[in-house]
Chain A
Amino acid sequence: MPEELHKSNDTFFNKPSFITSLKDRSILFFVDVSNVVAYLNTVLRNLFTKTFEFQEFLKQCYQIGNKSVGLISITGIIVGLVLTIQSRPPLVEFGAVAMLPGMVAISIIREMGPVITALICAGKIGSSMGAELGSMRVTEQIDAMEVSNTNPINFLIIPRVLAATFMIPLLTLYADAIGIFGSWLGINIKDNVSLALFLNQAFSQVEFIDVIPAVIKSFFFGAVIGLVGCYKGFNAGRGTESVGVAANSAVVTASLLLIIVDLIAVQITDLF
Chain B
Amino acid sequence: MKKNENNIVIEINNLTKSFGSQKVLDGINLQLFDNENLVVLGKSGSGKSVLIKCIVSLLKHDEGSIKVGDYELTDINEDALIEVRKKIGFLFQSAALYDSMTVRENLKFALTRLNETFSETEMNDKIEEALENVGMPNSIDKMPSELSGGMKKRIGLARTLVVNPSIILYDEPTTGLDPITSSEISSLINETQAKFKNSSIIITHDINCVKTVADRIAMIKDGKVYKTGSLEAFMNEDDSYIQSFFK
Contact = CB atoms under 8 A, between A and B. Distances in A.
Interface of A: 135-136, 139-141, 143-150
B114 A149 contact: yes
Best-buried of B58, B86, B97 by chain A (most CB within 10 Å): B58
B113 interface: yes
Given A140-B92, A146-B58, A150-B113, 15 more contacts: A140-B93, A140-B94, A141-B97, A141-B99, A143-B96, A147-B56, A147-B85, A148-B85, A148-B109, A148-B113, A148-B114, A149-B82, A149-B86, A149-B113, A149-B114
B50 to A, nearest CB: 12
A149 B98 CA distance: 15
B235 interface: no
B194 interface: no
B44 to A, nearest CB: 14
A144 B82 contact: no
Contacts of B94: 139-140
B110 A143 contact: no
A135 B145 CA distance: 14
A11 B23 CA distance: 36
Contacts of B58: 143, 146-147
A140 B90 CA distance: 11
Interface of B: 53, 56, 58, 82, 85-86, 88, 90, 92-94, 96-99, 109-110, 113-114
30 contacts: A135-B99, A136-B98, A136-B99, A139-B94, A139-B96, A139-B99, A140-B92, A140-B93, A140-B94, A140-B96, A141-B96, A141-B98, A143-B53, A143-B58, A143-B92, A143-B96, A144-B90, A144-B92, A144-B96, A145-B98, A146-B58, A147-B58, A147-B90, A148-B113, A148-B114, A149-B85, A149-B86, A149-B114, A150-B109, A150-B113
Contacts, number: 41
Contacts of B82: 149
Nearest to B91: A144
Nearest to B90: A147
B96 to A, nearest CB: 4
Best-buried of B56, B86, B97, B98 by chain A (most CB within 10 Å): B98
Contacts of A141: 96-99
B55 to A, nearest CB: 10
B236 to A, nearest CB: 36
Nearest to A63: B100
A51 B204 CA distance: 38
A271 B170 CA distance: 62
A135 to B, nearest CB: 7
A116 B95 CA distance: 41
B29 to A, nearest CB: 24
A145 to B, nearest CB: 8
A143 B86 CA distance: 15
A272 B232 CA distance: 83
